[in-house]
């Protein structure tokens, strides 16, 4: 089984100490090797000098060889000629240094250990008729190297210990923000999502991690808050028609009424049921939208045709209020999108325009294309939407005038659904009017590349056919 230290701090400490010990070991071995090479080089140079001196003296004044130890301090040598030993020192003989000599000459000095335990550096050089061999004791050199090795070896565990202690301390300091973050994070629950992790330095790795975590928390808090608000609003919206139905029913039960009044009561209860149905349907759409599981079926759309169909469908509602509902689509405009979703969005916009525009008003639906974008504009001559509501108008359950919207049967989700439907198709929706001089909403959709896929005039809604014929003849 592989050993795995339990904490990051321990792992860091072990790695730090391990690497440092390895460096110290390599460094110590390097020093030892360097010093040994230098000391042996000096010893060998001394040996070479001694051999040269002995050779010179042997050639020039051989009888002076015996004075070499006293005069020159050369105590270990031997001179041999034609197999006869001409001169050798007493210590050479005693230590049996002749045994260290190889048959023939060795190319470089050799180390040799005498039976007495002494260590020597021995070298021999042959001239034409004689051979000079010399030796120097290397025991003190070995002692020096050994002492150095012991010092370095003692330093290694000391350095390792220091590395462990230093590493542990350092890792503890470096990792302390993680501990603090973990402590804070442990205290964050669904009820305390407003808490944030401490950020000591936003530029270091832990600071970046904490910042990312805090951003995630903010998004989570936002999502929770929206969910909470949505649930509260939805319950409130569901309760209103239920309360209305209950009170209408209770009042009807308390009194004996004629058949006409009972029909009236049932009628108003059905109206509330209608409202509930619309609300539940809208909630279902938004839930599916939030889950991101809506499968889009993008296709090439004749935007004018699509708007025309919606206008045809809603004309009856406009007629009821003696409103003029006009479609202006002078040129064929094609966009790519899911027809059902875009139709739903246009339906909500045009229905709102009819709902909130007083009797006798005018609603204009314009379809055009600019800068590679399809533009649909729904304008009305109603009360308009004051600038203060501009930022919230597409929020769920947001109403400019709650009582009026309820009266009109609105559930406050129409624009939210329209925005989702358009944005899901890569488009954009905005309120372009300001103030109280009518409202104007603009939908922008990406224009389709394949504009040739126009369906032909046969499939166009009657409103659009009339509009295009007028435009062509003008």
Contacts with ligand ADP, residue ranges (CB under 6 A):
348, 352-353, 356, 380, 382-383, 385, 393, 398-401, 405, 410-416, 439
Closest CA to 171 of 321, 11, 3, 389: 11
- Closest distance between ligand ADP and the C-beta of residue 235, in Å? 17
Question: Cα 444 vs. chain centroid, distance in angstroms?
Answer: 33
Element housing 430 (H / E): strand 428-431
- Closest distance between ligand ADP and the C-beta of residue 414, in Å? 3
Q: Whose Cβ is closer to ligand ADP: residue 365's or residue 374's?
A: 365
Cα distances (Å, whole numbers) of residue 430 to 274, 395, 396, 414, 436? 29, 12, 15, 14, 17
Cα distances (Å, whole numbers) of residue 286 to 413, 414, 417? 9, 10, 7
Q: Whose Cβ is closer to ligand ADP: residue 50's or residue 380's?
A: 380
Cα distances (Å, whole numbers) of residue 100 to 91, 105, 106, 116? 14, 11, 10, 14
Cα distances (Å, whole numbers) of residue 113 to 93, 131, 275, 353, 474? 14, 22, 111, 113, 123
- Closest distance between ligand ADP and the C-beta of residue 239, in Å? 17
Q: Whose Cβ is closer to ligand ADP: residue 171's or residue 411's?
A: 411
Q: Whose Cβ is closer to ligand ADP: residue 416's or residue 464's?
A: 416
Q: How many Cα neighbours within 13 Å face the side chain of 146?
A: 6
CB atoms within 10 A of CB 109: 23
- Closest distance between ligand ADP and the C-beta of residue 396, in Å? 8
Determine the Cα angle at 160 with ends 157 and 163, to 5°: 155
Cα distances (Å, whole numbers) of residue 188 to 195, 200, 222, 450? 7, 19, 15, 53
- Closest distance between ligand ADP and the C-beta of residue 264, in Å? 25
- Closest distance between ligand ADP and the C-beta of residue 403, in Å? 10
Cα distances (Å, whole numbers) of residue 229 to 72, 76, 223, 275? 107, 104, 10, 21
Q: Whose Cβ is closer to ligand ADP: residue 233's or residue 312's?
A: 233
Q: Whose Cβ is closer to ligand ADP: residue 199's or residue 411's?
A: 411
Q: Whose Cβ is closer to ligand ADP: residue 332's or residue 410's?
A: 410
The answer to whether the CB of 454 falls within 8 A of the CB of 356 is no
- Closest distance between ligand ADP and the C-beta of residue 412, in Å? 4
- Closest distance between ligand ADP and the C-beta of residue 409, in Å? 8
Q: Whose Cβ is closer to ligand ADP: residue 135's or residue 345's?
A: 345
Q: Whose Cβ is closer to ligand ADP: residue 285's or residue 353's?
A: 353
- Closest distance between ligand ADP and the C-beta of residue 304, in Å? 21
């Amino acid at each position: 089984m592989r050993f795995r230290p339990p904490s990051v701090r321990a792992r860091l400490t072990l790695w730090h100490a391990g690497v440092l010990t390895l460096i110290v070991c390599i460094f110590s071995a390097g020093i030892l090797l360097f010093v040994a090479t230098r000391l042996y080089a000096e010893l060998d140079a001394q040996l070479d000098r001694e051999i040269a001196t002995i050779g010179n003296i042997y050639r020039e004044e051989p009888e002076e060889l015996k004075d070499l130890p006293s005069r020159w301090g050369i105590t270990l040598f031997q001179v041999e000629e034609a197999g006869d030993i001409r001169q050798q020192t007493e210590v050479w003989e005693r230590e049996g240094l002749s045994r260290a000599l190889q048959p023939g000459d060795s190319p470089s000095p050799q180390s040799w250990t005498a039976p007495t335990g002494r260590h020597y550096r021995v070298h021999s050089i042959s001239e034409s008729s004689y051979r000079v061999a010399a030796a120097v004791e290397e025991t003190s050199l070995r002692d020096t190297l050994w002492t150095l090795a012991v010092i370095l070896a003692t330093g290694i565990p000391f350095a390792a210990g220091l590395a462990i202690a230093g590493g542990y301390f350092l890792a503890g300091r470096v990792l302390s923000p993680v501990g603090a973050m973990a402590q804070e994070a442990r205290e964050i629950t669904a009820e305390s999502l407003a808490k944030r992790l401490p950020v000591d330095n936003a530029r270091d790795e832990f600071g970046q991690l904490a910042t990312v975590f805090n951003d995630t928390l903010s998004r989570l808090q936002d999502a929770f808050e929206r969910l909470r608000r949505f649930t509260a609003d939805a319950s409130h919206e569901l309760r209103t028609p239920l309360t209305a139905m209950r009170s209408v029913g209770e009042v009807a039960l308390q009194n004996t009424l004629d058949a006409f009044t009972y029909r009236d009561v049932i009628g108003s209860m059905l109206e509330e049921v209608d409202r509930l149905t619309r609300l539940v349907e809208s909630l279902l759409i938004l839930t599916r939208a939030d889950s991101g599981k809506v499968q889009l079926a993008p296709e090439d759309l004749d935007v004018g045709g699509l708007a025309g169909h919606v206008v045809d469908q809603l004309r009856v509602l406009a007629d009821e209020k003696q409103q003029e509902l006009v479609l202006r689509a002078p040129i064929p405009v094609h966009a790519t999108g899911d027809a059902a979703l875009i139709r739903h969005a246009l339906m909500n916009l045009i229905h709102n325009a009819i709902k909130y525009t007083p009797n006798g008003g005018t609603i204009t639906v314009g379809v055009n294309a600019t800068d590679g974008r399809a533009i649909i504009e729904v304008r009305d001559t109603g009360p308009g939407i004051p600038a203060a509501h501009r930022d919230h108008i597409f929020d769920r359950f947001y109403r400019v005038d709650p009582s009026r919207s309820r009266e009109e049967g609105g559930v406050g989700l129409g624009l939210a659904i329209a925005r989702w439907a358009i944005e899901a198709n890569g488009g954009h929706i905005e309120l372009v009017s300001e103030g109280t001089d009518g409202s104007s909403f603009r939908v922008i959709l990406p224009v389709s590349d394949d504009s040739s896929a126009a369906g032909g005039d046969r499939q166009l809604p009657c409103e659009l056919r009339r509009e295009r014929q007028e435009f062509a003849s003008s």
